[in-house]
Structure 1
Amino acid sequence: MAGPTRESHRIPANGIELDGWLYLPALPAAATAAASTTSAAAAPLIVMSHGFAAVKELYLDRFAAAFAEAGFAVVLYDHRNFGRSGGALRGEIDPRQQVDDLRDVISWAMALPQVDPARVGVWGSSYSGGHAISVGAHDRRVRCVVAQVPTISGYQSLLRRAGPQLHAVRAAFAQDRAARYRGEPPRYRRVIDQDGEAGIYGSDDAQAFYSAAWTLADGWDNRVTLRSSELASEYEPGAWIDRVSPTPLLMVVAEHDTVTPTDLALAAYERALEPKRLCLLPGGHFDPYTTHAGRAIAAARDWFVQHLG
């Protein structure tokens, strides 16, 4: 029996095309023959996307391949305006648009002949961890949710990140909004420090994580629009967490997360209803992708197997 395969696809979503990979699990010869006449070989589905300003090549291929090894069809894609996905305003991150795109990707994947549309799961990390919560709360096609180090409250994150500069940050948002209304180009911010410009994320672990994209992904651009930060400050996926139930929810939380703060995640988990599970990992926000990836993968895989497999 051969291993899982990976195909490249252009996925229509809300007027553009998203760049995605479709992983298909290996099938025994008997199941492959049955698939030509029945749906016997249709696999449960996991739809995956990355976090703020990140692209699929940034460590998520390892997660997707492991899920496919466990028997799942997996769709891993880049958000609009990033990677090879379409979108005219590069570096713009609108969480509501990303959530709507995610629901279109689910629709596209459910129509694939290799997929069982009755067994659909969503996996999201960081910013997309918030998307997984939002979609799990509103879209009953989704039967299982994994949210890894998820965004819970954009407002609380802004307060902690901006600190005494809060009023200056909000003034910059307002100035950018007025300039864009006048037809001027949007202002941009670095994601991490580069060429003397400060980034949104200034920690050493963030610098190491995002800078890996220059090696792993072709043409990753270290910038996002300022409006992306404004929209992030207004994004509150944690408000919906009690509505995910009865869909099973796994939250993977890092013990010392300062990007999507640990205390916000744990408080949100307490508000979530059953069935739910918490996987608490050592380290900071970026460790589940690297240092503790094996544990993060295993927890998510086992949750999907339990509820979709």
Structure 2
Amino acid sequence: MRRLRTLCTAVLASLLMVTLAVPPAHAETGVRVTHETIPGHGGIGLPAKVITPTGHDGPRPLLVMPTAWATNNLLYVGAAKRLAYESGYQVVTYTSRGFWDSGGAIEVAGPEDVGDARAVIDWALENTDADPGRVGMAGISYGAGISLLTAAEDDRVKAVGAMSGWADLAESIYSHETISYQAVELLLSSAHLTGTPGEKLLEMEREYREGNVQPALDMAPERSVSTKVDAINANGTAVMIGHAWNDGIFPPGQLTDFYGELTGPKRLMLSAGDHATPEAFGAVGLPNETWSELTRWFDHHLKGADNGVGSEDPVRVKPNNGRGAWASFPDWESVSDGSLDYGLSEPVRTWDNWQSTGGLDEGAEPGWSYGVGAGRGTVAESGTLLLSGALQQFADIPTGVSLPLVNRSYAGVWTGPRLSEGARVSGSPEVDMVVTPTAADQSLYFYLYAVDRYGTGSLITHEPYTLRGAEPGEPVEVGLRMEPVVWDVAAGQRLALVVDTEDSRYTDSGDRGERVEIGSTEEAPAALSVPTGPDPDGRV
């Protein structure tokens, strides 16, 4: 079953990469595209496309674009042609080291990759009519991470556009000490398929196969811009972040945290989709909201265009469901202006609910405990990497659940009152409860749903959580923040919280036959707090 899921995710990723790599039909008028092999860090060859505008007086602003994981330098050709033709940028996009026909080995955005990016900037300043005072970088996924890491090391980079990137690599692959199985397998399999893994990556994989994630965690800080935010701030780099609510490789919570720590010019755009899907079509030159905003961002910070970027609210969010419009805010904290606060009551059977179900009530109800079996899944799931988020984005089809079919022997379920006027969930829901496992290591999965009158739930957000080294039989206070989201709950729907112990997106800890007691005490009452945002009516 694991191998089947790995195959499915790899196929989905391959389809996405093929879509991204196909260059669009685009007139060559005003643009010259050449292929170069640029010397990278240590003298390796980096295959590159150099896109030069014609008819624009130089020196020109320079944009350097490292490619995404497992892709080559065709990835951004469509977008680069538009940037060159319409805005006069000198663009250089290159294949990241170790992938396809690039030299070296895959170093997972290590110092060698930053050295490559700096070498490409050096080459472009020496071999094109690029302006050394107006240098920007942009990329999707791996290219976004390399761009941010390079900006922390090189103060020549004045502006960055980071799309579907990461801030904290450890948080991405090991959130709350839970291995993101589908994401890790996808990254490893695609690395072997399209490139040459470096020794550090191979060592990490060997240890990971043996159940040891420590080498990956040891690699992470140097490859995480969250550890280098002071350098970004000192350089005054203008940073724009574009991301998807359902990104299954780099969940968005780490990006909202990173955004809050930036002190220079910054912009945050969050919308429906999965990893790289919000900006995928823009990469090949098709109209795209993220790329349009990115162009405005560079025009303002590299060309000095008076286009409103400097005076607009920098945080922009679009609901993950429906067809709601963008809403803008002065900062991330303003996305939430209230909350729905519930206490969790003991799950019990009632005359109208044949399965044990707890309530999401106004006040706390301490003094109860509810036991569930561990190591066996229920119909509550976070969905499939890439596919589920893409369905949400393009077809408004959420990851769903039939709440009556959630097996209460293996999950706790709590439902709230009907929201007669609906609500906009806006921010990161928080859950608190007491958990008593019978095993030292035990995974828990928290799902927040919007449920209609038929009991069909749409997944709003979720979060994995794994207890490590717990004392069996001893209670542990668990408090976690779920992934941020903006979701419009329809009038008449209710919220539901489900907690179980298995999810196919992750590597589960906890064997069948073990149990988990979920409870509420006077000292630590079980609670759910759901942040809410302004009424979408009247928002821009």
1:260 aligns to what SS in structure 2? coil
1:7-42 deviation per Cα after TM superposition (whole angstroms, max 9, x unaligned)? 1111011221110010001216xx4xxxxxxxxx22
Report which structure shows greater RCO (CA 8 Å, sep ≥6): 1
Q: Does 1:60 align with 2:60?
A: no
Report the equivalent of 2:142: 127
1:20·1:75 contact (CA, 8 Å) conserved in 2?
A: yes
Distance 1:251 1:16 in 2: 30
Matches within 5 A, 1:41-190: 41-57=58-74, 59-69=75-85, 70-87=87-104, 89=105, 91=106, 93=108, 95-160=110-175, 163=178
Separation (CA, whole Å) in 1 of partners of 2:162 and 2:172: 17
| Cα separation, 1, equivalents of 2:128 and 2:111 | 29
Structure with max Cα Rg: 2
Cα drift, residue 164 of structure 1: 6.1
1:248, 1:307 within 8 Å by CA — same for their partners in 2? yes
Q: Deviations over 1:60-119 (max 9, x none)?
A: 2222122112210000001122122222x4x55452211111111111111124211111
Q: Within 2, Cα distance between the matches of 1:240 and 1:116?
A: 26
The one-character-per-residue Cα deviations of 1:168-218 (angstroms, maximum 9, x if unpaired) are xxxxxxxxxxxxxxxxxxxxxxx99xxxxx93359xxxx9xx7xxxxxxxx
* One-letter code aligned to 1:264: Q
- Report the secondary structure of 1:84's partner residue: coil
The CA distance in 2 between the partners of 1:226 and 1:276, in whole Å, is 36
CA contact (8 A) 1:279 1:299 kept: no
Partner letter of residue 2 of structure 1? T
Alignment equivalent of 1:238, drawn from 226, 239, 243: 226
Distance 1:98 1:164, change over 3 A: closer
Match of 2:186 among 200, 212, 220: 200
Determine helix, strand or coil for the equivalent of 2:299: helix
Identity %: 26
- Could you tell me which runs of 5 or more consecutive residues in structure 2 were left unpaired when the two chains were aligned: 1-27, 205-215, 304-540
Query: 1:12 aligns to what?
Result: 39
Instruction: Write out per-residue CA displacement over residues 133-155 of structure 1, whole angstroms, 9 at most, x where no aligned residue.
Output: 22222211111111112121111
The answer on 1:221 being equivalent to 2:183 is: no
Q: Aligned partner of 2:43: which letter?
A: G
* Partner Cα distance (1:291, 1:7) in 2: 23
Coordinate RMSD, CA, aligned: 3.1
**Higher strand share goes to which structure?**
2
Amino acid at match of 1:296: T
1:148 counterpart letter in structure 2: M
Q: TM-score, normalised by structure 2?
A: 0.43
Give the number of equivalent residue pairs: 253
1:163 shift after superposition: 2.5
- 1:225: Cα distance to partner? 5.5
Report the residue type matching 1:23 in the other structure.
Answer: I
Partner of 2:332: none
- Determine which of 255, 261, 268 is the counterpart of 1:278: 268
Is the CA contact 1:25–1:73 (under 8 Å) kept in the aligned structure 2?
Answer: yes
Moved more, 69-78 or 44-53: 44-53
Partner of 1:244, secondary structure, is helix
Q: Is the 8 A contact 1:157 1:233 kept in 2?
A: no
* 1:162 Cα deviation after fit: 7.6
Q: Give the counterpart letter for 2:65 in structure 1.
A: M
Moved over 3 A (4+): 91-94, 222-227, 229-234
- The alpha carbon displacement at 1:160 in A equals 3.3
Once residues 221 and 113 of structure 1 are traced to their aligned partners in structure 2, the CA distance between those partners, rounded to angstroms, is 30
Distance 1:66 1:123, change over 3 A: same
Alignment correspondent of 1:307: 301
Segments of 5+ residues of structure 1 without an aligned counterpart are 32-40, 167-190, 193-197, 211-219
- Contact map agreement 1:111 1:117 (CA 8 A) in 2: no
- Alpha-carbon shift at residue 292 of structure 1 (Å): 6.4
